[in-house]
Structure 1
Amino acid sequence: MPEWINIIFRSFLFLVVLFFITKWLGKKQISQLSFFEYVTGITIGSIGAEVATKIEHSIINGVVSIATFAIAPFIVGLISLKSKSFRGFVEGKGTVFIKDGKIMEDNLKKEKYTTDELLELLRKKDVFNVADVEFAVLEATGDLTAMLKKEKQPLTPKDLQMNIAPIKESQAVIMDGEIMDEPLSTAGKNRKWLHTELSKMGITVENVFLGQIDSYGELTVDLFDDKLKVASPQERPLLLASFKKCQADLELFALGTDSQDAKNMYHKNSLKLQKAIDDVTAILIS
């Protein structure tokens, strides 16, 4: 048998052996390792590579072995795309650690996780009380996904029936004191607008390390000199204050007139403006 065929055979053989060993060791082997497990993994891999190749001083044999190890995952990936069962076997499946608020002890033992390790994974998700968790699963990648109980989940604007503006990607329009024209154009602004905004802040382009336009069209900057303070944009708070002043003026006009028709008109429009204020307050103060 030619040497290169022998190399390919040994490479595939020990690739399969190492796969089954890693699968037997569990998901912890790919998610978190103790010092002992880290050293063990390196040793197993080194032994497998040495036994598989036995390349000694042959560069060709080494290239053949590396190519074999590189091609194998590609072939496995193609098969995985076609077969769900094969994909589940090779890539693994998630393991439920907490279901309906109860820890699945058997699944913990199956994946060789201790209670302390489960608590550590939950703390990484900012969960410090197991009783707050409705469902948690250890993904095939070794990451823990946790869903809090409904009453423990943070409130969202939807829960409060609040209307919020859609968030768009911020555009970096100044970097290292240089204006970036393409992001500036994407944000729908031009250099004249940018210089005007910088003038309001009392700074020049050369002072700016990073400048960004947010989804509200406001410019925020970070300066080279960290000791300098730049005021945050005030357009939205000022606009909200103007709305509230107009609404208050309408109420005053309603109180100050003797005409019942005018009083009704002022009061009616005051209510409309108050509703508009309620709708946009969350946007203008965020």
Structure 2
Amino acid sequence: MSEWSHIIIRSFIFLFVLFVMTKLLGKKQISQISFFEYVSGITIGSIAGEVIMGLDNNIGHGVLAIAIFGLVTIAVGFISLKSNSFRDFVEGKGTIFIKDGKIMEDNLKKEKYSTDELSTLLRKKDVFNLADVEFAVLEPTGNLSILLKKENRPLTPKDLNMKVANDKVPQTVIRDGHIVHDSLASAGKTRKWLFDELDKLEVTMDNVFYGQIDSYGDLTVDLYDDKMQQPSPQTRPLLMAQLKKCQADLELFELETDSPDAKKMYKKNANKLNEVIKILSPYLNN
């Protein structure tokens, strides 16, 4: 067997071994790598590279070495879940870079960061003025977490004492032009409802590439034909418009009638409907 054949076979073998080991280590190895996992990952990759290129003619030695490093990494992760002190030692702790709006120079030097590098990390968080930051900490993963000063934080509905509707997880009911029946059932909808909604949007199933039901039960679609204007759901706006029209009609009836009892009745119901509109506004306004 030629040397090229050996390399190809070894590559496929260790591709499978590394894939299995990564699955055992879990998603954390990819998303939030610690100091120990960083060292372990580099070593495992180096071992695999050497064995694939034939520097170590014994494939079993390479598999054994990778298995040892993988199992040790799994063991370290398990112990870290049980012991806070061990986790702090292995994974490290966050380092405060800005506290009460003031840069902690000693901590910057400890982590070997310059003020320019700190500014770069802040810009990655869309913060260009250091004076806007109340608190910033360098996480063990190398990411910078920041807390803006209260006057610089975006307004939320809670700040304005506004009531908003709770969102639910959207359900993708059409993917690549095919109906996803599990998602349709999770949303509590049927195929008949789906086709009825497509008729309301004046589109056919053949032209729908992607469809999603939002937390209000409205269907939003993306079409294969990009030149066509994307239809938007009209159920909630139409319902809100009808409620407002009914409320306006009651106020008009109150003005037109000469009967005191009728005026009282129209005014009372107009006020009740107005309260209903206020309650439903967060749910029905797009």
Given the two structures, how large is their TM-score scaled by the length of structure 1?
0.77
Higher relative contact order (CA 8 A, sep 6+): 1
| Count of matched residue pairs | 243
Q: Compute the displacement of 1:137 (Å).
A: 0.7
- List structure 1 runs of 4+ shifted beyond 4 angstroms: none
CA contact (8 A) 2:221 2:231 kept: no
Q: Compute the displacement of 1:94 (Å).
A: 0.4
The 5-angstrom pairing of residues 180-199 of structure 1 reads: 180-199=180-199
Residue 63 of structure 1 aligns to a residue in which SS? helix
* Corresponding position of 1:33: none
* Corresponding position of 2:106: 106
Unaligned stretches of 5+ in structure 2? 1-33, 36-40
The 5-angstrom pairing of residues 115-130 of structure 1 reads: 115-130=115-130
The 5-angstrom pairing of residues 35-114 of structure 1 reads: 56-114=56-114
Residue 189 of structure 2 aligns to a residue in which SS? coil
Q: Compute the displacement of 1:46 (Å).
A: 5.7
Given the two structures, how large is their TM-score scaled by the length of structure 2?
0.77
Q: Give the whole-Å Cα distance in 2 for the aligned partners of 1:193 and 1:64.
A: 57
CA contact (8 A) 1:178 1:206 kept: no
1:243 aligns with 2:243: yes
CA contact (8 A) 1:162 1:279 kept: no
* Corresponding position of 1:284: 284
CA contact (8 A) 2:216 2:283 kept: no
Q: Give the whole-Å Cα distance in 1 for the aligned partners of 2:65 and 2:187.
A: 51
Q: Compute the displacement of 1:235 (Å).
A: 1.4
Could you tell me which amino acid in structure 1 is paired with residue 97 of structure 2? F
Q: Give the whole-Å Cα distance in 1 for the aligned partners of 2:132 and 2:266.
A: 51
Residue 154 of structure 1 aligns to a residue in which SS? coil
Q: Compute the displacement of 1:177 (Å).
A: 2.1
Q: Give the whole-Å Cα distance in 1 for the aligned partners of 2:59 and 2:246.
A: 82
Deviations 1:189-226 (A, max 9, x none): 11111111112222211111111111111111111111
What RMSD, in angstroms, separates the aligned Cα atoms of the two structures? 2.6
> Using a 3 Å threshold, how does the CA distance of structure 1 residues 177 and 118 change in structure 2: closer, same or farther?
same
Could you tell me which amino acid in structure 2 is paired with residue 135 of structure 1? F
Q: Give the whole-Å Cα distance in 2 for the aligned partners of 1:175 and 1:266.
A: 49
The 5-angstrom pairing of residues 82-231 of structure 1 reads: 82-231=82-231
CA contact (8 A) 2:92 2:140 kept: yes
Could you tell me which amino acid in structure 1 is paired with residue 117 of structure 2? E
Residue 66 of structure 1 aligns to a residue in which SS? helix
Q: Compute the displacement of 1:254 (Å).
A: 1.8
